Structure 1
Amino acid sequence: MTATADAEAAANELTPLADYLGSVLRRLRALPPLDLDLTQAYGNVLAEDVVAPHPFPAFDQAAVDGYAARWEDISGGSRGSGYVPAPSGAPGGRSIRLNVVGDLGAASWRPVRLTPGSCFSVAAGAPLPIAADVVVPVEWTDQGMAAVEIFRAPKRGYGVRRAGEELPAGTLLARAGTYVSPALVAVLAATGIGHVVVRPSPRVVIVATGDELVEVGRGSQPGQVVDANSHALTAAAAEVGALAYRVGICDDDPEGLRGLLEDQTLRADLIITTGGTGTGPGDMVRRILSRREGTRAGPVTFTEVALYPGTALGFGTVGAEEVPVVCLPGEPGAALIGFEVLARPAINLLAGAEPVFRPSVRAHLLETITSPVGLREFRPAHVAERRGGGYTVQPLPGGPFTLSGLAEANGLMVLGERVTTAAAGSTVDVLLLDRRR
């Protein structure tokens, strides 16, 4: 048997990534809804449709600073004593004079009415007088106080915002599953909404395991490895929108691991561990969490998935509350890729967000690359838009195991299980990373 045939035979024993993700995500449910004050709702996902209880604007109002008037008084439809010779250079050679009978600001509340030949000085946001159907901008006038001369007549309705013009009462403002953005908060507040029902942000606890791990602030040396994973995964969970808590390092101690996980179930909606998912002598996480008790299987199932890097992934529940737990590999690159393909969708599902996966594009590959047979590879890459439309993608040096490549990437190129070589100029799928740059 050739080396290629051996590799294909081994790959055939692995679980396809799509099958594995489907089996995991079907076991998760969105968190129960929560009624939150609007000021606390940002970053959450709506659990139900939201309808405007009041119109926006709530009343007829001025959209600009100027003079609220009747259009027929300034349009020439009722020319009379209000017309006076205009200053030199004024359009048409004539201007219109109206009596200014009052001032209206945004805090004005008493209803007032216009009479023919009169106007009100108004500030933007002020309620319009009854019968007003135009606001003349101040720069089109002599800015008079008792009387004003208008040098240019706007069209009917200029400078006016009618009640409900933008959002009538009863308008569907947002559907369930919508992310609450700052702009949506403004819309909800403007239509009179003070509380919304949302899915709470998942509380995610991150635990790094391994006797070899040491805290950051020093360099790695033989027998000691700086814990990069728990810091990176905490940041990744926060980027998704979770309330992320880094517990720190747990040694390869069975009782210590059991006790730590049991304690964390009291404050977690999801627990992520990193390290110990393999079958080696030091892989304590797999050994402890998959242990059988009597005839019952352990609470966490570890699966060899057709994924590169990091084939060994674990998923199950822990504690009396059956809190979901995701077990990722200990190698930093594999841990971050594992987070992208498994933990990130799980967090989005708990939060009620849709879609649960990152957006993707089809892009033209700029160089020929090879990929392991039988594995779905996620490789750091730089994706760019092309002039005239479409995308190009450049693989970053070093492949998926290089942290520097992951740090530079704005996309993850996805190469399917049957792809062993992708030629330059071919089209590949790329997941878009929402990095804030």
Structure 2
Amino acid sequence: MTATADAEAAANELTPLADYLGSVLRRLRALPPLDLDLTQAHGNVLAEDVVAPHAFPAFDQAAVDGYAARWEDISGGGRGPSYVPAPSGTPGGRSIRLNVVGDLGAASWRPVRLTPGSCFSVAAGAPLPVAADVVVPVEWTDQGMAAVEIFRTPKRGYGVRRAGEELPAGTLLARAGTYVSPALVAVFAATGIGHVVVRPSPRVVIVATGDELVDVGRGSQPGQVVDANSHALTAAAAEVGALAYRVGICDDDPEGLRGLLEDQTLRADLIITTGGTGTGPGDMVRRILSRREGGRAGPVTFTDVALYPGTALGFGTVGAEEVPVVCLPGDPGAALIGFEVLARPAIQLLAGAEPVFRPSVRAHLLETVSSPAGLREFRPAHVAERRGGGYTVQPLSGGPFTLSGLAEANGLLVLGERVTTAAAGSTVDVLLLDRRR
């Protein structure tokens, strides 16, 4: 049997990524909803539909600073206005004069009515007088105080916002599963909503494991590896919207690991570990968490998934509260890819967000690439929009294991299990990363 055939046979024993993700995500449920004050709801996901209890605008109001008038008065159809010569250069050669009978600001509340030949000076947001159906902008007038000359005639309804014009009462403002953005907060507030029911942001605890790990602030030495993973995964969890807590480094001590995870269940909705998921002599996480006790399987099941990089992933629950735990590989590149394909969707599901996966596009590949047989590869890449529509994707040098490539990437090129070579010019799938650049 050739080396290629050996590789394909080994890959056939792996669990397809789609099957594995489906089995994991089916075991998770969105967190119980909370009723939160509007100012605290930003960043969460709505747990139920939100309907406007009141109209917006709540009353007829001026949309611009100017003069609220009857359109028939300024259009020449009424009997009240007087016509006077207009300044040179004014279209039509004449202006209209109206009596200014009062001023209205945004805080005005007494109802007033227009009479023929009169108008009110109004500020943007001020309630409109009864019978007003147009607001003449200040710059179209001589800005008079007792009387005003109008040099241009706007269309009927100009400068006017009618009650409920934008959002009538009873309008569906947002559906369950919608992310509460700053703009949506404004919409809720404007229609009289002070509280909304949301899914809380998941509390995610990150633990790095391994006797070889040392904290940041120093260089790696033989027998020592700087813990990049827990810092990177904490940032990744926060980017998704989780409340992320970095516990730090846990040595490969069975009782220490069990005790640490048990303690963290008190403040976690999800625990992420990194390191020790393989089958080597130093892979203690897999050995400890998958150990059978009293005839029962361990709390975490480790699966060899058809994923490149990082085939070994773990998922299960720990503690009396059965808090979900995701176990990712120890290589930093594999840990970040594992987070993207497994931990990130789990966080999204707990948060009640839809969809749980990142958006993807089909892109024109700029460079021929090869991929391991039988594995679904996620490779750092740079994706760009093409003139005239569509996308191009450039794989970044170094492959999926390079941290520098991941740091530069704004997308992940996805090569399926049956793809061993993707030629330049072919069309491929790319996951879009929401990096802020």
State the TM-score, normalizing by the size of structure 1.
0.99
Partners of 2:80 and 2:116 within 8 A in 1:
no
Moved over 6 A (4+): none
Partners of 2:361 and 2:431 within 8 A in 1:
yes
Q: Does 1:333 align with 2:333?
A: yes
**Superposed CA offset, 1:300-339 (max 9, x none):** 0000000000000000000000000000000000000000
Displacement, 1:88? 2.0
Counterparts of 2:84 and 2:242, CA distance in 1: 67
Displacement, 1:87? 2.1
**Superposed CA offset, 1:57-104 (max 9, x none):** 000000000000001110011256511122222221111111100000
Displacement, 1:284? 1.0
Mapping of residues 177-216 of structure 1, within 5 Å: 177-216=177-216
Mapping of residues 43-192 of structure 1, within 5 Å: 43-78=43-78, 82-192=82-192
Deviates more, 1:287-296 or 1:84-93: 84-93
- Name the CA shift for 1:103/1:425 in 2 (closer, same or farther; >3 Å): same
Counterparts of 1:17 and 1:91, CA distance in 2: 71
Counterparts of 1:101 and 1:126, CA distance in 2: 15
Work out the number of aligned pairs and report it. 437
**Superposed CA offset, 1:257-281 (max 9, x none):** 0110000000000000000001111
Partners of 2:73 and 2:81 within 8 A in 1:
no
Counterparts of 1:382 and 1:92, CA distance in 2: 59
Displacement, 1:378? 0.3
Q: Does 1:395 align with 2:395?
A: yes
1:429 aligned partner = 429
Partner secondary structure for residue 121 of structure 1: strand
**Superposed CA offset, 1:151-199 (max 9, x none):** 1111100000000000000000000000000000000000000000000
Counterparts of 1:285 and 1:119, CA distance in 2: 79
Partners of 2:52 and 2:171 within 8 A in 1:
yes
Q: What are the ranges of 5 or more consecutive residues in structure 2 without an aligned counterpart?
A: none
Partner secondary structure for residue 170 of structure 2: coil
**Superposed CA offset, 1:210-232 (max 9, x none):** 00000100000101100000000
Deviates more, 1:84-93 or 1:255-264: 84-93
Counterparts of 1:362 and 1:102, CA distance in 2: 62
- Name the CA shift for 1:95/1:318 in 2 (closer, same or farther; >3 Å): same
Partners of 2:74 and 2:81 within 8 A in 1:
no
- Name the CA shift for 1:174/1:81 in 2 (closer, same or farther; >3 Å): closer
Counterparts of 1:80 and 1:420, CA distance in 2: 84
Partners of 2:33 and 2:197 within 8 A in 1:
yes
- Name the CA shift for 1:81/1:391 in 2 (closer, same or farther; >3 Å): closer
Counterparts of 2:251 and 2:118, CA distance in 1: 83
Counterparts of 1:346 and 1:87, CA distance in 2: 69
Partners of 2:379 and 2:413 within 8 A in 1:
yes
Partners of 2:80 and 2:117 within 8 A in 1:
no
Counterparts of 2:91 and 2:367, CA distance in 1: 65
Counterparts of 2:17 and 2:91, CA distance in 1: 72
Counterparts of 2:398 and 2:29, CA distance in 1: 37
Counterparts of 1:162 and 1:217, CA distance in 2: 61
Partner secondary structure for residue 92 of structure 1: coil
Partners of 2:55 and 2:169 within 8 A in 1:
yes
Q: What are the ranges of 5 or more consecutive residues in structure 1 without an aligned counterpart?
A: none
- Name the CA shift for 1:121/1:80 in 2 (closer, same or farther; >3 Å): closer
Partner secondary structure for residue 36 of structure 1: strand
- Name the CA shift for 1:337/1:81 in 2 (closer, same or farther; >3 Å): closer
**Superposed CA offset, 1:226-253 (max 9, x none):** 0000000000000000000000000011
Counterparts of 1:97 and 1:252, CA distance in 2: 88
State the TM-score, normalizing by the size of structure 2.
0.99
**Superposed CA offset, 1:274-307 (max 9, x none):** 0000111111111111010121100100000000
**Superposed CA offset, 1:333-373 (max 9, x none):** 00000000000000000000000000000111111111001
- Name the CA shift for 1:231/1:81 in 2 (closer, same or farther; >3 Å): closer
Partners of 2:66 and 2:135 within 8 A in 1:
yes
Partner secondary structure for residue 127 of structure 2: coil
Partner secondary structure for residue 400 of structure 2: helix
Partners of 2:141 and 2:151 within 8 A in 1:
yes
Partners of 2:78 and 2:116 within 8 A in 1:
no
**Superposed CA offset, 1:118-171 (max 9, x none):** 100000000000000000001111100011111111110000000000000000
Counterparts of 1:362 and 1:373, CA distance in 2: 21
Q: Does 1:35 align with 2:39?
A: no
Partner secondary structure for residue 96 of structure 1: strand
Partners of 2:73 and 2:80 within 8 A in 1:
no
Displacement, 1:421? 0.6
> Percent of counterpart pairs with the same letter?
96
